[in-house]
Structure 1
Amino acid sequence: MPSVHIIGGGVAGYTLARELVQKNYTGTISISDSQGLPYDRPPLSKSLQVEPFAPIAWYVEHGISLFQEDVQELALPTTEDDWIVLATGTTPTLLQVPGAQYAHTLHTAADATALAQVLDSAMFGVQVIVIGAGLIGAEFASTASMFGAQVTLISNSNAPLAPVLGQQLAEQLHADHAQRGIKTITGTVNSIGADHVVVDGERLEAALIVSAIGVEPETTLASNLGLSVEDGIVVDAQQRSISHRQVLAIGDAARVQGEPRAVHWEAAMEDAAQAAATIMDAAPVQRSVPWFWTDRHEMHVETVGEFSKVATTITRENRRGKLQTVFGLDEHGTLVAASMVDGGLMAKAVKRLIARGITPSIEQLEDPSVGPRVLGRDAR
């Protein structure tokens, strides 16, 4: 009988299983993951919550086998009816300083549960240091602050998310931490102890230290299988490994040959949809404009498009005089990106505009009275 063996229970792995069920795949489906029941990753840093995608009953109903195991090696498929799909995700980038072992990471359900227990049991105002102010670091700092901790956030930049949000909004969001009671420090970590961090020679006391300096694609199994690996498991447009036609790779661990690796939730879902199409010999999936979101301090932040292509920006402010939306134009004056805080329908409107190659006038982009419905009208 045909089979699909999925390694990894994150959004990519689960979505593939769901897609195959919806497409009435007639073979067997199995998911192997060292953490057991597949669950969503974003809530880990946003709320320290573990949220399974579906109850065990759903997998039983659809005949999907779940295996809680750490797969280090397995036999490659030998027929065109059998597939291995690597949805192995990422692994945390580790600090390379003396005492790095004293820093916790926030990457798995076990990590989130352990950190939540520490914060729940600690006294109000416990000192917490977060190293790294990117997506995970900023979200956890916000969450720890809501738990009542006194948080210090260390970054090597005053605009740590500039490559994905644009310089202006990244600076504003990072500065907003101080208004929420979080101390921010721009500097370099020299060393870590059990109860302190040394930053540019200054010792900072802490009861809890968390490192969130980034992630790397988890490619250990792919390398063990002899697959091509270069900043991810290298695949073609159908998500096939360029080294073996019956091995697919999807999600954060995969990289389409000749393109940068996409590391966000929606891209993982689209990878899974494409993998399902490849397995079912269906039409290729139409990719959407890149989009991702982050939540911090009760603010919802979204980015559409790619700020790496931006040459000039156009901004809108809210009634309090703070940036609310940043539109990015490329060197030809074409709308290619936007980032926004609590933007409502704006992200959908901009996504539609970029997909259809439509750029509103500068006056429309600057005018806060021109809402997303008006901007998106021309893209219908």
Structure 2
Amino acid sequence: MSAPPALPHSIVILGGGVAGFSAAQELRARGYGGVLTILSPEGLPYDRPPLSKGYLLGTEDSAKILFAPARWYGEHDVAVVASRATALDASGQNPSVTLDDGRVLAADRILLATGGLPRRLAIPGGQHALTLRSRADADALRRVLVPGARIVIVGAGLIGAEVASAAASLGGNVTLIDPIDLPLGPAMGEHLARRLHAMHAEHGVRTVTGLPAAIEDGTHDAAPHLVRLADGRSVPADIVVAGIGITPDTDVAEAAGLDVDDGILVGSDGSTSRPAIFAAGDATRTRRPDDVVRGGAARRAKHWEAAVRSGQAAAAGLLGQAPAEFGAPWFWSDRYGVHAEAVGTMDARQEPGARVVLRTEDGTVTGVPAAAFLLAEDGRLLGCAAVDQPLVVRAARRIIDRGIIPDPERLADPTVDPRKLAR
């Protein structure tokens, strides 16, 4: 029997987002006692989802969104360095990173958890659009979200919809622009996506289907900006916000010669093309066991829980251990006082012959959709999306993870206790 691999004496984690913090937490949970450092340019690691929710609304402060208070890092012997890595030397067995203040940190292993960068509007005047990715971004946006402000949000996905909800509740005059009629259709399924999208109008948010072509200097109604659409229509704006997703932050990895293709290419344990370098979170893209990059209909996982799992898996990989088995993917979104979530996949395009089973609030065909289930042709549950139905989603997750073939009639019946669906 071969001896287990030697544990690294020191590990440096680049990035204080959810993947980086989850990796540090998991390393200590697995008994790692070596030197552990997190490079977090913004200071103590914090959670990003509240930035478009409670933090933007002012109901949560900077202390509330921290993953852990300062004392946790002392208790777990984790050093946090508020510096940014500008270069990575991955050429040997003892890699190092150069910091923006000129210091060089060497370590036995390095984990890249550099996250993603907000996509910018690649149109004339696109530089005028604000984005929301960091706490500083949220602070800047909150200062201009004043009653009566004309706010144009480009992108009606998760972030765009949540910003629209917050801006409307703060008294803004909000217009939400997206190139497709039904944003979140593949993520939530048609029925729940329609219910969620209709909530914008119910809360005074104007929705426009169109493709922005330029942000011009405004002359109409004394607005500082005019968002010009490709079909010639225009929308006056005091503030323009771009919520069109993220791109993986791979600059340091690419410069160091790691394999990168729409993300740092990693194995299921976070391993990269360099033996001493691992990567996790939004900056990565996972290879299949046959070494084929996930492509086509598959996407880079960009949700919060996926980043947690990625960090945990990379922590195991750093120690030469097997990562835990994870179940069906899950995400959530809060807007207009409701909690939407989905587990598995609701994209029927990925499964020929799949059908949707709908659970309405009152059990009638014309009732308000509360949950939708996507069933494969053989009866397997592929996914579930719901609004304010956490027990239903939890049951659906158990059904998917255990491979249970559910009864469609029970799924559709709102009188059936969700806790009994997985039995």
Q: TM-score of the superposition, structure 1-length normalised?
A: 0.94
Structure 1 unaligned runs (5+)? none
**Residues of 1 paired with 2:110 and 2:392: CA distance?**
39
Letter in structure 1 aligned against 2:178: S
The offset of 1:240, in angstroms, is: 0.3
The range that moved more, 131-140 or 311-320, is: 311-320
Q: Give 1:239's aligned residue.
A: 270
The offset of 1:128, in angstroms, is: 0.8
Contact 1:92 1:107 in 2 (8 A): yes
Equivalent residue runs for 1:94-105 within 5 Å: 94-105=120-131
Q: Give 2:307's aligned residue.
A: 268
Contact 2:269 2:322 in 1 (8 A): no
Matched, 1:7 2:14: yes
**Residues of 2 paired with 1:231 and 1:164: CA distance?**
21
Matched, 1:286 2:330: no
**Residues of 2 paired with 1:336 and 1:58: CA distance?**
39
Equivalent residue runs for 1:108-127 within 5 Å: 108-119=134-145, 122=146, 124-127=147-150
| 1:198-234 deviation digits (Å, cap 9, x = unpaired) | 2231222111110111111111111011111112111
The offset of 1:356, in angstroms, is: 1.1
Contact 1:346 1:372 in 2 (8 A): yes
The offset of 1:29, in angstroms, is: 0.7
Q: Give 1:93's aligned residue.
A: 119
Matched, 1:183 2:226: no
Letter in structure 1 aligned against 2:307: A
Question: Which of 72, 77, 82 is residue 108 of structure 2 equivalent to?
Answer: 82
The range that moved more, 312-321 or 346-355, is: 312-321
The range that moved more, 192-201 or 296-305, is: 192-201
Matched, 1:252 2:282: yes
The offset of 1:344, in angstroms, is: 2.5
Letter in structure 2 aligned against 1:103: A
Letter in structure 1 aligned against 2:87: E
**Residues of 2 paired with 1:148 and 1:130: CA distance?**
15
**Residues of 2 paired with 1:141 and 1:78: CA distance?**
48
The offset of 1:79, in angstroms, is: 4.8
Equivalent residue runs for 1:1-380 within 5 Å: 2-47=9-54, 48=56, 49=60, 50=62, 51-76=65-90, 78-79=93-94, 82-119=108-145, 122=146, 124-193=147-216, 194-199=224-229, 200-241=231-272, 243-257=273-287, 258-259=293-294, 260=298, 261-308=300-347, 309-310=350-351, 311-319=354-362, 321-376=367-422, 378=423
| 1:176-201 deviation digits (Å, cap 9, x = unpaired) | 11001111111111211342212231
SS at structure 1 position matched to 2:275: strand
**Residues of 2 paired with 1:39 and 1:176: CA distance?**
30
SS at structure 2 position matched to 1:172: helix
Between the two proteins, the alignment pairs up a number of residues equal to 373
Contact 1:72 1:224 in 2 (8 A): no
**Residues of 2 paired with 1:16 and 1:224: CA distance?**
23
| 1:272-327 deviation digits (Å, cap 9, x = unpaired) | 22122222333331111111111000110010101234521111111392111010
Letter in structure 2 aligned against 1:296: R
Q: Give 2:103's aligned residue.
A: none
SS at structure 2 position matched to 1:164: helix
The offset of 1:103, in angstroms, is: 0.6
Q: CA RMSD in A?
A: 1.7
Contact 1:326 1:339 in 2 (8 A): yes
The range that moved more, 65-74 or 293-302, is: 65-74
Question: Percent sequence identity over matched residues?
Answer: 43
Question: After the TM superposition, which segments of 4 or more aligned residues of structure 1 sit over 6 Å from their partners?
Answer: none
**Residues of 2 paired with 1:74 and 1:344: CA distance?**
43
Contact 1:3 1:28 in 2 (8 A): yes
SS at structure 2 position matched to 1:129: strand
The offset of 1:63, in angstroms, is: 2.3
**Residues of 2 paired with 1:359 and 1:295: CA distance?**
30
SS at structure 2 position matched to 1:340: strand
The offset of 1:3, in angstroms, is: 0.8
The range that moved more, 88-97 or 278-287, is: 278-287
**Residues of 1 paired with 2:367 and 2:138: CA distance?**
36
**Residues of 2 paired with 1:173 and 1:315: CA distance?**
15
Q: TM-score of the superposition, structure 2-length normalised?
A: 0.84
